[in-house]
Structure 1
């Protein structure tokens, strides 16, 4: 049917349909000129955010696999920064997804900000056990935070074996994923002014393995001057699960799973460097059960060897650095009130029973004798399980052990180290709110247990494609509360400055007296959550903490 006839017959309907289609077309955001060239983004559907997504901040491919990323090359013309779905290679429900050249960064800018002075910048490092995750809007949408008039930056970094193979040789020195993160922070420092951001007011925040990464980065000389503040959520580098203490052995386990039997670093590199990246990601291996209660995670940061012309990211056990470092960076540390619930689903009766008679602590402790180690292990068992054996009937006791040992007390210990060594302000929190966006709590199967679990606060900090709706008014208030706290810290170095309308003043800790903000419907300051458990583990770590990597 010719257009004139269509227009006569359906005129008004066609106009309305055309307007609808036009609204589906992405409106371009302003052009930005950075060192690599000119780029253009898009305006969010709400019209409130300029989105620049999928910008290459560094480069990696098969030739630089396992190594420090290279600088991303300049481009000709205008780069279309609108790619939303990008990730580094990882195993998913749909098989291995992602590309090896995956080092992309996303910048989200308030569309209505007045360019009177540069905006505070918040850079997020995602978690995922160093094995999965990406910086995209599937989980980490910008709306909640950008609404508070800050610039949000998210990015990808290499994970799994591609990011954390550590052979301590030039071809695979270790910590490629951490070096990606440092490269992203250098890119932000260099380029964020072009987006209206303040390169002298950058706050980095991260959760779980992202928080652990940030803790390592804060302790690294390679990050000096790149950011001003840090928010470390449910993960620090002094956790017992944060460090790969036997990286070449772990690499040999992975090689053995695909039919190679060697512990020689050069041979291991030759094996992995020649494989297709999808085959590398698909490798499955398990650590054998040992006396120590070490993590089953295979891909972790490591202590690097000094190699000529190779910049190292991690050269010392973080505990040793934190107890000697004097650089001033203000920090927020925090955990959820019931972290361990997240880890208990899927623990079989066999897995639980296997810990009976073994140590209930990790190999970051070192004892003068096996008998002293077993004596301490029995004290731990008694503290958490009494005279009962570890079984599914005691699953909440297991959860409590996980909460204390893996999250809660290491965060307190690191906060104390920072406070005792320099003049940094340290703010500590416990996230205790339970609402309809506590997706991790809901997925754990322990909805009716008190408090919040690992990762619950993320859905109040970020909107996401995974769960875009806000059901209750209480959840809406929590979103406003937590994003105000986080962005105030980024803007002013104080989560509750005088200009805030929040009812509770968040006080920083002082030496020998940490104070905690309990984030809840009615937030309030309070004492340590589990003082008896804290003192129990403090005594053990004071006596037996391992301070070397041998």
Structure 2
């Protein structure tokens, strides 16, 4: 009897260990995860800091990512303590060895049986210069029986420096994302996921069946850098002045691969500060370190203008949810004094408000276009103290115009569900309001879908309306991951609304307005955006890089 009791005790101990200390065997080696719980006490398995690439250091700096090496023993993946170098707001966790993926799953395969759960892979934002996957917890996804995958990718000078030739072609941060998507497709079945049901958040390319684009498009003017080669040499010039007059890409690569990561990060930050102006986040003619059009090379990510590819339907034809927040650029204009100084700078040099993608070289035509753009918002008056009009302009040129144009063009080739997030709740964290402008800024939807007590988010402290909005958003998003349809059934949660696909035939532009009440509306910012479209059409060409 004592022997049998002992045997059962050993079995129980083994079972507890297998539950609380899960081990997954990847092609590269074994990893150790841990059991965790959501804020609703739902158990799930957590695996953080899994290498998906070889550390991009030394001779691999500025190179396309290489698959992860194998390892011996069991790798501890129960915590995440590394972020990629930030070009603003340095973190103590910043490192060049940062290419990790995190997997959060409600269940693991047992007895060779896989639950084949839908997977949502989130690519964090941050203007290509900041961001960290740790800031996006899985609680609400786990509670909706979806696996969440989050990733780190190279940022700023490390991820987007380019000499615009085959020495440093560029776009390494995007190539990191592509490899992470590939890793997820190849390995997610080991975590209970279905590799054929991967939905990504954000713009990328590869092995997924659907995408959700929150407040962004490759047509946004800030997503493309037209002067990357000059920027690369001037960045190197911060550390060695001889590169201010050099044109030798190979010498630049050899030099920058030899400097310390801290010095390179500091040089990138110093350069950005030297060329940045207060209105950069408003007009956004291209983030300093941003994607480029590459020369053809074996690892190329982008080799043609995206507008033309989209217009021709040369895109991955998967269903897409995409949309904007009602007044995106509130995030970048929370100080009225600074905003007024920006508006005065625009009035003093109105050429600043003309997007570079209009490619206007004639000075008089450029001046006339600037006046026409301002007139959309002020009726021939200066921006002056019209703070609301200034914010509206900056929102539309950075987000509303390019995102809606992307949706309009893509809807001819694939399923598009368009939304505007207009709900102004406390979790959004932006309290500023300007007369004449809307009230919900960039990224204010994020706390409603990524919420965890470990990050100071307490849904129990939400108002009832906040809770309903959170439940609506996460259910719309996870429904899409499960069924490729955000409203597959009539639901009281959605006030019995069916979110239909976007069709612009007949001049309509139907979208879901997500506010305290859900409502299907037509013609998003119609009068303003139509005037913008008229200005672009007056240029009599369509060879745009952004829009």
Aligned to 2:488: 497
Mapped to 2, the partners of 1:103 and 1:340 lie a distance apart of 30
2: CA distance between counterparts of 1:304 and 1:237? 15
What is the 5 A alignment of 1:535-546? 535-544=530-539
Deviation by residue 1:236-287 (Cα, 9 ceiling, x = unmatched): 0011121001111122332344452135233432332221111111121233
Within 5 Å, give how 1:375-524 maps onto structure 2. 375-391=368-384, 393-420=385-412, 422=413, 424-439=414-429, 441-442=430-431, 450-464=438-452, 465-470=454-459, 471=461, 472-498=463-489, 500-501=491-492, 502-503=494-495, 504-512=497-505, 513-524=508-519
Whole-Å separation in 1 of the counterparts to 2:263 and 2:466: 42
In 1: Cα distance, 2:116 partner to 2:108 partner: 13
State the alpha-carbon separation in 1 of the partners of residues 103 and 316 from structure 2. 28
Work out whether residues 89 and 96 of structure 1, in 8 Å CA contact, stay in contact via their aligned partners in 2.
Answer: no
Task: List per-residue Cα deviations over 1:478-502 (Å, max 9, x = no partner).
Answer: 1111000000011101000026553
Maintained 8 Å contact 2:118/2:481: yes
TM superposition shift of 1:103: 0.3
How far is the alpha carbon of 1:295 from its aligned partner?
3.2
* Distance of 1:47 and 1:332 partners within structure 2: 28
For each residue in 1:85-107, what CA deviation from the matched residue of structure 2 results, as whole angstroms up to 9, or x when unmatched? 22111256566641111100000
Query: Which of 144, 152, 167 lines up with 1:156 in the alignment?
Result: 152
Alignment of 1:15-54 (within 5 A): 28-45=20-37, 46=41, 48-54=43-49
Inter-partner Cα distance in structure 1 for 2:79 and 2:290: 29
- Contact 1:248/1:263 (CA < 8 Å) preserved in 2? no
**TM-score (norm: length of structure 1):** 0.85
* Residue in structure 1 matching 2:261, options 254, 277, 286: 277
* 1:247 alignment partner, one of 225, 228, 233: 228
1:50·1:110 contact (CA, 8 Å) conserved in 2?
yes
Is 1:262 matched with 2:245? yes
C-alpha displacement of 1:541:
2.2
Equivalent pair of 1:344/1:395 in contact (CA under 8 Å): no
Distance 2:196 2:310 in 1: 24
Shift of 1:430: 0.3
Structure 1 residues 538-547 or 508-517, which shifts more?
Answer: 538-547
Cα distance in 2 for partners of 1:448, 1:352 equals 15
**8 Å Cα contact 2:81/2:93 also seen in 1:** no
Pairwise CA RMSD of aligned residues?
A: 2.8
Give the equivalent residue in structure 2 for 1:364.
357
| In structure 1, distance between residues paired with 2:234 and 2:174 | 22
Distance 2:345 2:92 in 1: 32
Note closer, same or farther for the CA distance 1:79–1:318 as it changes in structure 2 (3 Å cut).
same
Structure 1 unmatched runs, 5+: 1-24, 207-213
1: CA distance, partners of 2:448 / 2:259: 40
Distance 1:352 1:456, change over 3 A: same
Equivalent residue for 1:323, pick from 311, 319, 327? 311
Point out the more displaced range, 349-358 or 61-70: 349-358
CA contact (8 A) 2:219 2:406 kept: yes
Provide the C-alpha distance between the structure 1 equivalents of 2:446 and 2:394, rounded to a whole number of angstroms. Answer: 20
- 2:216 aligns with 235
| Contact in 2 for aligned 1:90/1:96 (Cα 8 Å) | no
Contact preservation (8 Å) 2:285, 2:356: no
1:209 corresponds to: none
Q: CA deviation at 1:451?
A: 3.4
Q: Does the 8 A contact of 1:148 with 1:484 survive in 2?
A: yes
2 CA distance for matches of 1:361 and 1:187?
A: 41
Structure 2 gap ranges (5+):
1-16
1:410 Cα deviation from its structure 2 partner? 0.9
Post-superposition Cα deviations, 1:301-343, rounded to whole Å, max 9, x if no partner, equal 0000013xx2100111110111121542111111001112112
Cα drift, residue 508 of structure 1: 0.9
- The answer as to whether partners of 2:210 and 2:320 remain within 8 angstroms in 1 is yes
Aligned residue pairs: how many? 502
Q: Which residue number in structure 1 is paired with residue 6 of structure 2?
A: none
Is the 2:358–2:544 contact (alpha carbons within 8 Å) kept by the matching residues of 1? no
Map of 2:334 onto structure 1: 345
- Paired with 1:448 and 1:349, the residues of 2 have a C-alpha distance of 15
- Where 1:367 maps in the other structure, the secondary structure is coil
Go from structure 1 to structure 2 and tell me whether the alpha carbon gap of 1:339 and 1:111 turns closer, same or farther (over 3 Å shift).
same
How far the C-alpha of 1:454 sits from its partner, in A, is 0.6
Shift, 1:116, TM fit? 6.8
What is the CA–CA distance in structure 2 between the aligned matches of 1:191 and 1:124, rounded to whole Å? 16
Partner residue in 1 for 2:50: 55
Give yes or no for contact 1:343–1:399 (8 Å, CA) kept in 2. no
| CA–CA distance in structure 1, aligned partners of residues 521 and 229 of structure 2 | 44
**Cα deviation digits, residues 137-163 of structure 1 (max 9, x gap):** xx2110012211110000100001000
**8 Å CA contact retained: 1:144, 1:479:** no
Structure 2 CA distance for partners of 1:200 and 1:56, relative to 1, 3 Å: same
Q: TM-score, normalised by structure 2?
A: 0.86
CA change 1:384–1:258 in 2 (3 A) is farther
1:84 to 48, 72, 80: 80
Match of 1:181 in 2: 177
